[in-house]
Amino acid sequence: MVGEKKGTEQQDLIRLENLVKIYGSGAVRVKGLKGINLTIKRGEFAAIMGHSGSGKSTLMNIMGCLDRPTEGHYYLDGTDMAELSSDQLSAVRNLKIGFVFQSFNLISRTSALKNVELPMVYARIPRQKREARARELLERVGLEARITHMPNELSGGQRQRVAIARALANEPPLILADEPTGNLDTAASVEIMELFSRIHQAGATVVVVTHEENIAAFTQRIIRFSDGQIISDERKVPVCF
């Protein structure tokens, strides 16, 4: 039967096959990814590391369905993303993926509550239900006292917690975070990583890009990039605090 998932395949939330990304054309072509093969199982907590320009964001944007590869295949939950229309990809982004950015990407002049409600508006969740869930999510990230605050009335760490609550809105199985602690001090960074650990423990698959070893230490697997290629991939015992 088409679409049937069996055995080990069922455990693979992400499967990347020979993924190539080329930016530009002609003489200004840049190879962002040079043939990536990678599998991330359901329930994993992984870090992607590598120097600036090595292709981490390029990969995250493809895994987050914000961009498409030039060559190769991306299977999310067993479905080849290349076969989906842009409308179908938007639905996948809304329901299956929560994306967290370094610069938070909250909507300014819009309360924390409304920011968290937004993915549920797109998913056509009725107003009362989405408001109740947004409150619950803000409580879960420790911001119950900041519900009506605008992004510019929040600290960096608090803004990122709103962004994480928003990423969780439709209970996606996959959370992708591209340098989520890049704009935060050490204390706020630790809080954010503890939050990702709790989200992972609650059942989500979490992939975090970071430059910092102490941030990657919160995860269970470190995938290292160099020049558009994976140079190492290690699973390890997580650090406990």
Ligand X SMILES: Nc1ncnc2c1ncn2[C@@H]1O[C@H](COP(=O)(O)OP(=O)(O)OP(=O)(O)O)[C@@H](O)[C@H]1O
Q: Give the binding range for ligand X (CB under 6 A) out of 38-46, 50-58, 87-95, 187-195.
A: 50-58
Read off the tokens for 121: 């508006």
How do 71-76 and 205-209 pair as beta strands? Answer: unpaired
Could you tell me if 197 and 221 are in contact, meaning their C-beta atoms sit under 8 angstroms apart? no
Name the helix (H) or strand (E) containing 17: strand 12-23
Q: Please, what is the minimum distance in Å from the beta carbon of residue 63 to ligand X?
A: 12
Q: Which is nearer to Mg ion, 117 or 179 (CB)?
A: 179
Q: Please, what is the minimum distance in Å from the beta carbon of residue 20 to ligand X?
A: 12
Q: Which is nearer to ligand X, 55 or 180 (CB)?
A: 55
Q: Which is nearer to ligand X, 54 or 170 (CB)?
A: 54
Q: Could you say which DSSP state residue 212 is in?
A: -
Q: Give the binding range for Mg ion (CB under 5 A) out of 11-19, 51-59, 112-120, 169-177.
A: 51-59
# binding residues, ligand X (CB under 6 A): 12
Q: What share of the chain is helix, strand, coil (3-state, %, to 5)?
A: 40, 25, 35
Tell whether residue 52 is a contact of ligand X (CB under 6 A). Answer: yes
Q: Give the binding range for Mg ion (CB under 5 A) out of 26-34, 55-63, 78-86, 144-152.
A: 55-63
Q: Could you say which DSSP state residue 64 is in?
A: T
Tell whether residue 181 is a contact of Mg ion (CB under 5 A). Answer: no
Residues 6+ apart with CB under 8 A from 9: 78
Tokens 């990657």 label which residue?
A: 216
Tokens 């370094």 label which residue?
A: 102
Binding residues vs ligand X (CB under 6 A): 23-24, 30, 32, 50, 52-58
| Binding site residues, Mg ion, CB under 5 A | 57
